[in-house]
Amino acid sequence: MKNILFFGNSLTAGYGLSPSESFPALIQKKIDSLQLPYKAINAGLSGETSAGGKNRIDWLLRQPVDVFVLELGANDGLRGIPPAETKKNLQAIVDKVKAKYPQAKLVMAGMEVPSSMGGRYASEFRVIFRQLATENNMALVPFLLEGVGGERHLNQQDGVHPTAAGQKILAENVWAVLKDVL
């Protein structure tokens, strides 16, 4: 059995939902239905920033990691953290995974912030995920929240966290890329 580590924030954790409704759990159901030898590990932590993730990753790398899915940065974006700093932190996380598990396959979940954060900031923020994926030979989910972000009926009352129906779309967005990695 090989491990897929989903490392992220509340979007990965499935904030406000039961654990079985999170996109990593939905991907596990897909994996099981296809009888693939993978176990999805949900290491999502609500409120996590790229800096927090950089500090937390070592503990999670105590277990074998065959596929690493990185979903961090949204909280940085909402806090207006400079994109260069977020990129540096995400690179540090990738470096730690590569150092411990050089054979691990890597997937980056791209993120965007609302244009209300400022057009220049939003565009600078958006490109770091593609840059990191390219520089580190990672598969890229272009925008994790594609089809969900800004869709009121697919998000909880806070307008930020996907509903169970929204998480199903996130699972489809990730699976579209992950299936070719497995």
User: Which of 46, 153, 158, 180 is labelled catalytic?
Assistant: 158
Contact yes or no for 170/145 (Cβ under 8 A): yes
Range of the domain at 38: 2-178
Burial class (CB in 10 A: 0-12, 13-18, 19+), 125: buried
Domain with residue 98: its CATH number is 3.40.50.1110
User: End-to-end CA distance of the chain, in Å?
Assistant: 12
User: Which of 10, 22, 50, 76 is labelled catalytic?
Assistant: 10
**Stretch 45-57: mean pLDDT, rounded?**
98
> Residue 10 catalytic?
yes
Residue 41, CA distances (Å) to 64, 121, 124 in order: 11, 32, 31
Domain count within the chain: 1
pLDDT tens digits for range 94-143: 999 999 999 999 999 999 998 888 889 999 999 999 999 999 999 999 99
Q: Residue 73 is inside which H or E element, if any?
A: none
Decide if pLDDT at 14 tops 90.
yes
Residue 52, CA distances (Å) to 26, 85, 90 in order: 25, 12, 10
> Residue 161 catalytic?
yes
pLDDT tens digits for range 22-31: 999 999 999 9
Portion of the chain with pLDDT greater than 70, in percent: 100
User: Which of 22, 66, 76, 161 is labelled catalytic?
Assistant: 161
